[in-house]
Amino acid sequence: MPQVWWVPIIVAIIGLIGIIIPLLTNGDNQSSPPASQTFDYPVRVQEKDSEGTIPNARVILEVASKAPLDEITDSNGFARIRIESSYVGKPGKIIVEATGYKKYTQNIDLNKDTLPDIIRLERQ
């Protein structure tokens, strides 16, 4: 019976490849956030001076390399945007636009506890 000393070496190399490839393709070996990090972002848009609510304002969340998320405020100036886990923790920008008001822009990080819950717009 011939000796097959090279078989354990081949098996070890295949095992190492199985470990190395995920490390190379996943950067610093951080996986994407779990689906449990998905959350709803409630925001109210108000007038800066009177604090009256602004209906039909467009609230936009922009994140690099992702489709923008947006919603229109209801008659109470309220909007709720669903933040999927792939957006969580990423830097981005919140933009709010409404007819008759100055455009609002703020750089943000998409974390549940750090997003502004009230945005006040100035009249033009």
Residue 112 lies in a domain: yes
Residue 62 lies in a domain: yes
Structure tokens at 51: 């604090």
Q: Give residue 84's domain range.
A: 35-121
The string of pLDDT tens digits covering residues 54-108 is: 999 999 999 988 899 999 999 999 999 998 888 888 999 999 999 999 999 999 9
In angstroms, the Cα distances linking 64 to 94, 96, 110, 113, 120 are 12, 18, 12, 20, 25
In angstroms, the Cα distances linking 115 to 23, 39, 124 are 32, 12, 25
Total domain count, the chain: 1
The string of pLDDT tens digits covering residues 12-51 is: 788 777 777 766 665 554 555 455 688 999 999 999 988 8
